[in-house]
Amino acid sequence: MRDLPHVAGRWWDATVRQAHAFYLEWKGLCPLQRVQLCPRLPDELLESCFTRTEQRAVTLLLRAVR
């Protein structure tokens, strides 16, 4: 992920924080509520400076887990 722009660190931190918050919420729900829970993208990650970073990072991450 070396070729990602300087905002990649901010994007990654916000993504991990959101994933952790979602998981904590998911753990506290019953099974029926868990399947109804939808992840939310934080406002911070809706900034235009993260669009290309997210696209590139997702591509790299998907290749890594294949």
Mean pLDDT computed over every residue of the chain = 89
Give residue 38's pLDDT. Answer: 93
27-57, pLDDT tens digit by residue? 999 999 999 999 888 888 888 888 888 888 8
Per the model's pLDDT, the better-predicted residue between 51 and 26 turns out to be 26
Report percent pLDDT > 90 for the chain: 42
To which H or E segment does residue 17 belong? helix 8-27
User: Phi, psi (5° rounding) for residue 6?
Assistant: -65, -20
Q: Which two tokens stand for residue 13?
A: 């931190």
Give residue 1's pLDDT. Answer: 59
